[in-house]
Amino acid sequence: MPKVKFAYDLKKDVWSWVHIAKSKDCWGMNWRDEVGHINNELLEKIEKNSFAKAEKIVLEYIKNRPIRKNKNLVMYLEIRALEKAWKLFDKIYFTALEKITQKPMFRKEFTCYFTTGLMCPYSERENWFMSSMWHSTPSSIATICHEIMHLQFLHYYRKYLEKAGLNEEQIQDLKEALTFLLNDPVFDKIIKCDDNGYPAHQKLRKQLSIIWNKTQDFKILIDEGIKIIKKS
């Protein structure tokens, strides 16, 4: 079964702050609320500067925060706690995900980087994702499950979706909507937080849920999802 490594990388943390702050769309959520951990003065500096300049600004900001001045002790303890908790569920999760997607796990190792922000982006190209050190352990476990499902789906179906005629926005919509599957009973032993999705995907999630309840077949679910998105 795959393993998840847990670590902190200052450069990736800085990138995540800038990436989130410069993103303008959150599928119907109030993006300003979601970047609430970034004070208005810092947010304005990030928005008006280039990505590279904004990274330098955020780097200095994070370096001078108490969490950094305390030699990362709190962060270290949080990382170790999440790592220990995840190991209780990893085999159950990966087995359940393989069952749901009807595909073997596509790689043997993932990396979960902690962020001092609240939002948790991921890298499809490098197969890593983030977990916020401010979130509870159950919430962080749900985040890990959510992000690995994204990576598993994109690995196996991105090219298929592109050949079917879906553009990047549509692929991302389907990817996010499919996380309703994390509420399936097969994940009950692992995930204690409901995956409610984004406001913009609620209709699609309901449509996909009806199909899933009838078929319990991931490939059919994807094909039907493609049809729905093309008609919308």
Instruction: Please check whether residue 58 is in contact with residue 42, taking contact to mean a CB–CB distance below 8 angstroms.
Output: yes
The answer for residues whose C-beta is within 8 angstroms of residue 61's C-beta and 6 or more apart is: 42
**74-131, pLDDT tens digit by residue?**
888 899 999 999 999 999 999 999 999 999 999 999 999 999 888 899 999 999 999 9
> What is the total count of domains within the chain?
1
In angstroms, the CA 164 to CA 125 distance is 21
Query: Lowest mean pLDDT: which of 8-12, 41-45, 126-130, 223-227?
Result: 41-45
Tokens 């270290």 correspond to 76
For residue 227, is pLDDT > 90? yes
Residue by residue, DSSP assigns 129-149 as: EEEETTS-HHHHHHHHHHHHH
What is the residue range of 110's domain?
A: 3-231
Q: Which of 3-12, 65-74, 121-130, 181-190 has the lowest mean pLDDT?
A: 65-74
Whole-model pTM: value is 0.92
